[in-house]
Structure 1
Amino acid sequence: MAWSDKFKLKKGLVQALNEAGFTAPKKIQQKTLARINGGQDVIAVGPEGCGKTTTYILAALSKFNYTPDGVPKVLILVPDKEKVEEVIAKIGQLNKNKTLSIVPLYVTPGTEAQMDALADGADIVVATPDRARAIYLKLGLDVNKIELLVIDDAELIVKQGLQLPVTELADSIPKCQHLVFTEVLHERLNKMIAPFMKQPAIVEVEEIGEPQFNTHPQMLYLLPNFGTKVNLLNLFIQDEELFTKVVLFVNTRLTAEKLYKGLHDKKSTVALLNPWLPGVDGFTSLPEFKNAQTRVLIVVNDAEQESDLRDIPFLIHFELPVEKETYIRRMISDAPDVENETMAITFATDLELSAVKKIEQATGQKILSGELPEDLIIETERRITGSAERKDALAKADDNAPGAAFHEKKASNAKTYNYRAGLKAKMNKKKNH
């Protein structure tokens, strides 16, 4: 499909696209450009490489005639300096209007040079939210004539905790169109953009190819925070008949120590791989663990470590490793055996969903979502300010002892899970181990 008239792109832009090798629109451009040109707010969700950056650059360049006035019409917010430079380069590749002034803003010692560049005239500003806000508060960034606000890699902006600068800048713009581009859409991101998005169209593009490997069955549990992850882990581990052997992956020694202490306090048989603490149970290799009575082995994620995970009934990723290749290597099943298959379970928060998407894209397989147990206690994130409130909280924690982070299951709900029928059947087979 060639670039059609319905996208309302200027001839110079179409020529630049063809010269750059973009001879036809990608799926995300087919689904969004007409809406964007119509002035609608859009939330576009798609994986890396699906064409999100090109999409909003086309929208930005379409805002200008050949006589720009040097006052910002487009503000593009991205997570970091590297992304600012990438977007600037992409604009240069597609922009035929050499009178346009594009100004980058990112954190660097001093703001004077960037404020001078804005004062000299800026039509498109590409910025990190914190630096754009800082210069705006110094009256160096004029947002009164902005017609298009773009937020790219929005999930990373949320992960970096830059929601406040984004919302303050959006609130400061009198009236404009809003475009949000992200790899995943979740509650925290929705909370950031909801105040300024006006009945947005949500467009989602998934580009998952053919399966690349034979993998273990996988299940994803989406959880709101660390404390709820701990509670779900405790529910699982309490089922001694089903979870007979578990390798539990975490990212840091601090997390490993917390989980070891909590599980150990509940009298679960648990150990660390290559222990670094004195007086704790541990093993120096997987074969040792396989031949021992210990049920749970906590492993700190290490991309360099090769482990033989065969014949382990359950692999639980409490946290996803930094490198997706580490996770994928563990999931590959050389000779799947229905009777002795390994089940891989992943706990993820909103902020880890982008890592899950990258894994799905790399493996060509969707990870099924699991239903949460009815008796799972969902932790709330709250701050305790008064001393009386702090004492009450400590008293409640004591009531739940041992292990304040863990909670006993209700007797009426013991060993009940909302598993789908197929998963329940698979998991029941683990009792043969």
Structure 2
Amino acid sequence: MAWAEKFKLNKQLIKAVTEAGFTNPKEMQLKTLNRIIGGQDVIAIGPEGCGKTTVLVLATLNRFKHSADGTPKALILAPDQEKVFEILAQFDRLNRNKTIRIVSLHPGQTTEQNMDDLAEGSDIVVATPDRARAIYLKLGLNLNKVDFFAVDDAQLIIKKGLQLPVVELANSIGRAQHLIFTEVMHERLDKMIAPFMQLPATVEVEELPDEQLPVHPQMLYHVPNFGTKLNLLNLFLYDEEMFTKTVVFANTRLTAETIYKNLTNRLRKAVTMINPLSFEYNKVNNISEFKADSSLRVLIIANEGTEEMELDLTDIPFIIHLDLPAEKEIYIKHIENHAVDAEDETLALTFATDLELDQVRRIEQTTGQKMQKAELPEDLVLEKDRKQKEAEKEKARKPVKADPNQYVPGEAFHEKKPENSKTYNYSSGTKAKMNMKKKHG
């Protein structure tokens, strides 16, 4: 009876979790459930499968002590129809109070059907943010008595660009408890929840598997956008002595060609591709050709179109993922260490934005190893977001009176060349390994 001893759940729920086979609570449940039952706003961060959805369902059901009255008390938002169904299935599994009416709102039904379902009465509403907002604006969703607001898989809501309806719905609810469940926390997510979260408790669990896959050492560079990824790649590859042979992965052939054009401005004929879209680009048929040609330093490979290709990445000093593939197995295949007993002289560098951090986490869960977070070089140029660029362009159109006292640098002024200011911030062990490559490469 571990559940009864550790949580103030009603007897029906204690019986339901036991019958469902949940013998012992998971770490996520131990750290969050009592806080939620106590009425606190909570941000729960944990990997897929750590028990976040079960916490959400138990906490919601525990609020209904007696018969429900058919007016929404709880609104739960999920990123898509599939996740809505997953939450509904967990409710079906754990709910013993048959007076509770649960209604779902999602794109798989018409808005008219959604409104009819709500008109028949609802106590818990599970919905996608855009559909819930649409029904609310049609006056079909009553939020007056909602005192429990939860967002599941919040990182996917950000990816789908559904922040606005989430914030609008949260602000349309009066006094309520707010819960956020997510695989990762980042700046964009924090910006979404800041307007409505009330001094939340943040709980994070790791739960890495005991078994580790044999992979090359990994370093993670967290950057704001794709433009900064390109700047970072250029900054590294300017160093001809360190980055002697590098394979760069992108998701699509179009992205691969964008990288190629960006690099050839500086590296010229040292860059090549496998299977480019255009015949005019420098190309090789396989990695063996790239390894054998001493004039080539950078090979760009698109995951698209090379799924069945055998990629022998042994003896490549640097493997860089500029994009993260949707299927983590593709990434892991690239960084597998096939010579575990030999000294590993390959580094896998990953460039990731906020929107890719959940993919990073899933890769770590599979490999059983955390990626080492690396500091960004001090001289890295951080590209501005598109909206900020547009705002600055608009501002630049307006004439500004010149200040005669302001100093303007002359022709003698110049910025330090990237190759003369190497600030990669690698650990001492990594630097030593790199220096060994230079001596014996």
Contact 2:263–2:271 (CA<8 Å) still a contact in 1?
Answer: yes
Does 2:26 match 1:26?
Answer: yes
Amino acid aligned to 2:434: M
For residues 64-95 of structure 1, give each alpha carbon's deviation from its aligned partner in whole angstroms, at most 9, with x where no partner exists: 12311111011000011111111111101100
Q: Which residue of 2 aligns with 1:200?
A: 200
What is the aligned partner in structure 2 of residue 271 from structure 1? 272
Q: CA deviation at 1:139?
A: 0.6
Q: Matches of 1:343 and 1:391 in 2, distance apart?
A: 48
Query: Which of residues 298, 311, 320 in structure 1 aligns to 2:324?
Result: 320
Aligned residue for 2:302? 300
Deviation at 1:364? 0.7
- Aligned partners of 2:73 and 2:253: how far apart in 1? 48
Percent of aligned positions that are identical: 59
Instruction: Give, in whole Å, the separation in 1 of the partners of 2:364 and 2:12.
Output: 37
Give runs of aligned pairs for residues 81-100 of structure 1, distance below 5 A.
81-100=81-100
Q: Which runs of 5+ in 1 are unaligned?
A: 393-406
Residues 1:112 and 1:214: Cα distance change in structure 2 (over 3 Å): same
Deviation by residue 1:385-420 (Cα, 9 ceiling, x = unmatched): 66674799xxxxxxxxxxxxxx98646952232222
Residue 385 of structure 2 corresponds to residue 384 of structure 1: no
CA gap of 1:409–1:50, structure 2 versus 1, over 3 A, is farther
Task: Tell me the residue number matched to 2:352.
Answer: 348
Structure 2 CA distance, aligned partners of 1:325 and 1:376? Answer: 31
Give SS of 2:91's match: helix
The corresponding residue for 2:67 is: 67
Shift of the alpha carbon at 1:211?
A: 3.7
Question: Given residue 47 of structure 1, which amino acid in structure 2 is its aligned partner?
Answer: P
Tell me if the contact between 1:235 and 1:409 (Cα under 8 Å) persists in the aligned partners.
no
Amino acid at match of 1:251: N
Q: Hey, what's the Cα distance between the residues in 1 that align with 2:380 and 2:341?
A: 31
Cα distance in 1 between the residues matched to 2:395 and 2:166: 36
Does residue 1:287 correspond to 2:288, yes or no?
A: yes
1: CA distance, partners of 2:342 / 2:313: 16
Residue matched to 1:419: 426
What is the TM-score with the length of structure 1 in the denominator? 0.93
Distance 1:54 1:339 in 2: 44
Q: Which moved more, 1:323-332 or 1:227-236?
A: 323-332
CA contact (8 A) 1:72 1:145 kept: yes
Q: Which residue of 2 aligns with 1:166?
A: 166
Query: Quick check: 209-218 or 93-102, which moved more?
Result: 209-218
What do residues 161-193 of structure 1 show as CA deviations (whole Å, max 9, x unaligned)?
000000000000011000100000111110100
Tell me, what secondary structure is at the counterpart of 1:87?
helix
Q: 1:365 aligns with which of 362, 369, 378?
A: 369
SS of 2:267 mapped into structure 1: coil
Q: Is the 8 A contact 2:254 2:277 kept in 1?
A: no
2-structure distance, mates of 1:155, 1:340: 34
Change (3 A) 1:105 1:411: closer
2:81–2:108 CA contact under 8 A, matched in 1 = no
Q: Distance in 2 between matches of 1:408 and 1:350?
A: 30
2:390 is paired with a residue whose SS is: coil
Summarize the alignment of residues 83-232 of structure 1 with structure 2, pairs less than 5 Å apart: 83-108=83-108, 110-232=110-232
CA contact (8 A) 2:155 2:185 kept: yes
Paired with 1:164 and 1:8, the residues of 2 have a C-alpha distance of: 35
Map Cα deviations across residues 288-321 of structure 1 (whole Å, 9 max, x no partner).
0000121000000143332000111110000111
Point out where structure 2 has 5 or more consecutive residues left out of the alignment: 400-413
Separation in 2 of the partners of 1:353 and 1:390? 37
TM normalised by structure 2 equals 0.91
Q: Which amino acid aligns with 1:134?
A: A
- In structure 1, how many angstroms separate the alpha carbons of the residues matched to 2:35 and 2:436? 50
After the TM superposition, list the runs of 4 or more consecutive aligned residues in structure 1 that deviate by more than 3 angstroms.
Answer: 336-340, 385-392, 407-413
Q: Secondary structure at the match of 1:144?
A: coil
Q: CA deviation at 1:240?
A: 0.3
Q: Tell me how far 1:428 sits from its aligned partner.
A: 2.2
Root mean square deviation, CA, Å? 2.0
Read off the aligned partner of 1:277 and give its amino acid letter. S
